[in-house]
């Protein structure tokens, strides 16, 4: 079995997260000093060479490419933003990173600010993460007091609990003090982001990984994990598994390594029925795909993705129709209402799932969901609506009997 490799979580449990001295003793802020001796373009090259350090927030976009976009857009004011909204169901890794090592995120942001030429930044933290907000505020104040921020002003702000505000353009609108709704892309934030200025938005885990790459070099990082997606990924293992928690694994580790190895297998001697891969809008796999590695290329043939790193295990006692009924409630509640296909569509999906689970017009509602989900994928304004039908379609394909009332009597109700 593969070993847990701690790159992003290298200081977890080893330093006091409230102590900047502890972080510095562990080698903290050396990467920032090294970065500042490097030409910004060369620094961005290094991040790109680290297998493009694909963003760890869900979309997997190249961090180096993003930084280059903001760097090469001429403007007197640029911004760096850390997305710590962490609203994805089953995701709690950013919280773990912040609670254990807030300075590494700040250091990653300051390196980015130097690379792109930003003098101001924001950490947008999920409102419920009160302790994280305090830790980050202290980290910023302590770094400022030691002159480490070099005049770059980092603000710590909190979201008001909307899931869509984790989407980068909605986050920007929310930060600007407006109603948190996504905006059209292009222009991308690297060209016109916060207040219309070039802005880099990266996830907590992405920023926390940057100092290690700068310190140890892209070559070192590329040797870890799968070449198509080098390095490690921090996973959130939850559901019907013995050892739920946060695990940082190289990207060539398999789902089996995570669930049965680190996770200790399914509770009460039960079997895996389904695993939801990547978050609430993502699809499921069954036990036969547990040999797949935890990276984008390996998972693609099974029709699933890594997403935010949420891995939710469901045992055979679950009825999958009931489970995705719960998901449909979530999307109907979180739809921001900006566009009609999602505003109406998520409510219709919810109604259809309620009807199916109550045994009303089952075939008609299955047909409706199939058409609706397809239409929403093509017409919704942002990925929230586009993906709202995904988990239902995936469950329907893998477990049709659960939708047609033929599931075992003992099936658990999740809604």
Ligand X SMILES: Cc1cc2nc3c(=O)[nH]c(=O)nc-3n(C[C@H](O)[C@H](O)[C@H](O)COP(=O)(O)O)c2cc1C
Site residues (vs ligand X, CB under 6 A) = 55-59, 61, 83, 85-88, 163-164, 166-168, 201-203, 206, 382-384
In 10 A of CB 72, how many CB atoms? 13
| CB of 8 vs ligand X, minimal distance in Å | 12
- Residue 11 or 203: the one with the smaller Cβ distance to ligand X is 203
From the list ligand SF4, ligand X, none, pick the one residue 59 interacts with, judged by a Cβ distance below 5 to 8 Å according to partner type: ligand X
Biggest alpha carbon distance in the chain? 67
Burial degree of 326 (CB within 10 A; 0-12, 13-18, 19+): middle
- Residue 149 or 335: the one with the smaller Cβ distance to ligand SF4 is 335
From the list ligand SF4, ligand X, none, pick the one residue 57 interacts with, judged by a Cβ distance below 5 to 8 Å according to partner type: ligand X
| CB of 43 vs ligand X, minimal distance in Å | 17
| CB of 181 vs ligand SF4, minimal distance in Å | 6
DSSP state of 318: B
From the list ligand X, ligand SF4, none, pick the one residue 85 interacts with, judged by a Cβ distance below 5 to 8 Å according to partner type: ligand X
In 10 A of CB 317, how many CB atoms? 15
- Residue 29 or 207: the one with the smaller Cβ distance to ligand X is 207
Residue with tokens 């790109």: 48
Q: Which two tokens stand for residue 78?
A: 């640029």
Residue with tokens 């290329």: 297
| CA dihedral angle for residue 368, residue 369, residue 374, residue 376, rounded to 10 degrees | 100
- Residue 180 or 283: the one with the smaller Cβ distance to ligand SF4 is 180
From the list ligand X, ligand SF4, none, pick the one residue 138 interacts with, judged by a Cβ distance below 5 to 8 Å according to partner type: none
- Residue 89 or 263: the one with the smaller Cβ distance to ligand X is 89
From the list ligand SF4, ligand X, none, pick the one residue 203 interacts with, judged by a Cβ distance below 5 to 8 Å according to partner type: ligand X
- Residue 28 or 89: the one with the smaller Cβ distance to ligand X is 89
Pair 97, 8: CB distance under 8 Å? yes
| CB of 203 vs ligand X, minimal distance in Å | 3
Q: Which of 178, 92, 84, 91 is nearest to 137 (CA)?
A: 84
Judged by the rule CB under 6 A, the positions of this chain that interact with ligand SF4 are 164, 181-182, 335-339, 342-343, 380-382, 384-385
Pair 7, 231: CB distance under 8 Å? yes
From the list ligand X, ligand SF4, none, pick the one residue 337 interacts with, judged by a Cβ distance below 5 to 8 Å according to partner type: ligand SF4
DSSP state of 411: P
| CB of 163 vs ligand SF4, minimal distance in Å | 8
Q: Measured between alpha carbons, how far is residue 126 from residues 10, 166, 245 in Å?
A: 23, 9, 19
For the chain, what is the total number of helices (H) and then of strands (E)? 18, 11
In angstroms, the CA 151 to CA 143 distance is: 10
From the list ligand X, ligand SF4, none, pick the one residue 174 interacts with, judged by a Cβ distance below 5 to 8 Å according to partner type: none
Q: Measured between alpha carbons, how far is residue 207 from residues 80, 81, 213 in Å?
A: 11, 10, 10
In angstroms, the CA 62 to CA 148 distance is: 27
Pair 99, 135: CB distance under 8 Å? yes
From the list ligand X, ligand SF4, none, pick the one residue 338 interacts with, judged by a Cβ distance below 5 to 8 Å according to partner type: ligand SF4
| CB of 249 vs ligand SF4, minimal distance in Å | 32
| CB of 91 vs ligand X, minimal distance in Å | 7
From the list ligand X, ligand SF4, none, pick the one residue 211 interacts with, judged by a Cβ distance below 5 to 8 Å according to partner type: none
| CB of 114 vs ligand X, minimal distance in Å | 17
In angstroms, the CA 330 to CA 167 distance is: 16
| CA dihedral angle for residue 239, residue 88, residue 300, residue 312, rounded to 10 degrees | 0
- Residue 261 or 279: the one with the smaller Cβ distance to ligand X is 279
- Residue 68 or 273: the one with the smaller Cβ distance to ligand X is 68
Q: Which two tokens stand for residue 160?
A: 């008001």
- Residue 67 or 331: the one with the smaller Cβ distance to ligand SF4 is 331
| CB of 234 vs ligand X, minimal distance in Å | 12
């Amino acid at each position: 079995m593969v070993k847990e490799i701690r790159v992003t979580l290298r200081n977890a449990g080893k330093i006091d997260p409230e102590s900047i001295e502890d972080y510095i003793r562990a080698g903290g802020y050396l990467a920032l000093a090294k970065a500042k001796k490097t030409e910004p373009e060369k620094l961005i090259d290094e991040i790109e060479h680290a297998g493009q350090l694909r963003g760890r927030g869900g979309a997997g976009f190249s961090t180096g490419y993003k930084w280059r976009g903001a760097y090469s857009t001429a403007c007197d004011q640029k911004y760096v933003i850390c997305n710590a909204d962490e609203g994805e169901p089953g995701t709690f890794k950013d919280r773990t990173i912040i609670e254990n090592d807030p300075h590494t995120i700040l250091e990653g942001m300051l390196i980015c600010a130097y690379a792109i030429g930003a003098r101001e930044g924001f950490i947008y933290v999920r409102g419920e993460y009160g302790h994280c907000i305090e830790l980050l505020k202290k980290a910023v104040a302590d770094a400022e007091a030691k002159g480490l921020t070099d005049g770059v002003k980092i603000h710590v702000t909190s979201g008001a609990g909307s899931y869509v505000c984790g989407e980068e353009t909605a986050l920007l609108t929310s930060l600007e003090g407006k109603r948190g709704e996504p905006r059209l892309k292009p222009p991308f934030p690297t060209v016109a982001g916060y207040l219309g200025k070039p802005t880099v938005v990266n996830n907590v885990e992405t920023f926390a990984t940057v100092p290690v790459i700068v310190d140890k070099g892209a070559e070192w990082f590329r040797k870890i994990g799968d070449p198509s997606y080098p390095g490690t990924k921090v996973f959130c293992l939850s559901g019907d598994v013995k050892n739920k928690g946060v695990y940082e694994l190289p990207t060539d580790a398999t789902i089996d390594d995570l669930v049965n190895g680190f996770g200790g297998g399914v509770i009460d001697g039960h079997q895996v029925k389904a695993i939801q891969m990547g978050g609430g809008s993502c699809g499921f796999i069954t036990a036969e795909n547990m040999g797949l590695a935890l990276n984008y290329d390996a998972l693609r043939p099974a029709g699933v993705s890594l997403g935010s790193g949420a891995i939710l295990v469901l045992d055979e006692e679950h009825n999958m129709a009931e489970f995705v009924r719960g998901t449909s409630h979530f999307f109907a509640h979180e739809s921001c209402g900006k566009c009609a296909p999602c505003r109406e569509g998520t409510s219709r999906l919810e109604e259809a799932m309620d009807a199916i689970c109550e045994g009303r017009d089952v075939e008609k509602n299955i047909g409706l969901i199939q058409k609706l989900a397809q239409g929403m994928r093509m017409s919704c304004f942002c990925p929230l609506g586009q993906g709202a039908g995904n988990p239902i379609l995936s469950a329907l394909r893998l477990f049709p009997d659960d939708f047609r009332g033929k599931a075992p009597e003992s099936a658990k109700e999740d809604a």
